[in-house]
Structure 1
Amino acid sequence: MVTSYSSANVLFEDILAQQATEDSEAAWPKGDIELVPDSQTILWTLEDYGDLVVTLTYSDDQWVVLADIAPVAAVKDTATLNRLLLEQGVAIPLVSAGVMTLNGEAHYVVFGQLYGGSRPEAISAEVHACASAAIDIADLVQDYIA
């Protein structure tokens, strides 16, 4: 078994191999995965999280796990929501909430970061944590969607 990954390509191939044999100590989430080699990104549609799409990107010797929550423009009271997200930040394990530009538009996102040499179990745990937090935060954001 691989103990760390030097690229999204290597991780992608290892996940596919483990899914085919159902032999994984990392407990990878169930779902469809797709590799975007040019950006060193894995797009993961997670079955256990309502088909939530999570991206897992390798860059600058780190892994970034990201889930899109909602466009900022769709939120009717960003000041209150932002305060609530900051207050929730301490209660959400392993991940952070923030605003990021996606396709030219500001979006609320949930993200986590790991050292590039992280073990498979740590990467898997981060994907699960990000997905779980994304679901929790999406529920909170729904109250503020215009």
Structure 2
Amino acid sequence: MEEYNARSGNRVQVIPDAVYERMRDYSWPGNVRELRNVVERAVLLARDRVFPIEWMQLGSGLAANPETQGGPNVDGDRLIIPLDGSMALDEMDSYIIRTALERSGQNVTAAARALGTTRETLRYRIQKYGLKDDPAQDEEIGLD
């Protein structure tokens, strides 16, 4: 957790008992790699000092549910992302941002608000992941 705090600039320090319980009860089919991915994503997406249980996606039957295997998908207002090591963190991040942009009609400000981040951070990641399709779209999503 300290490693990912340092990388992301976050200060996650509190791990609730419910998080430890979920970690103990999960079978970890992806072993240490999966655990690292879960911790990295949770620290990256944390909004305060508390480890966010909502980004763990453990104990929900995700690993055993055949409908969710093979890649991420959207279920209403929820994104379901596999934690079996089949997606790298950058792929997950890119997928989340792309989905938020699609749902906001390519409005970066609205997508940033939905993701709980700043417009500048989101613009940086849009460029990092190459999520703009064409230069004409730059003005529409605020990359001019």
Q: Same fold (TM over 0.5)?
A: no
Task: Report the TM-score, using the length of structure 2 for normalisation.
Answer: 0.29
Task: Report the TM-score, using the length of structure 1 for normalisation.
Answer: 0.29
Higher relative contact order (CA 8 A, sep 6+): 1
More strand by percentage? 1
More helix by percentage? 2
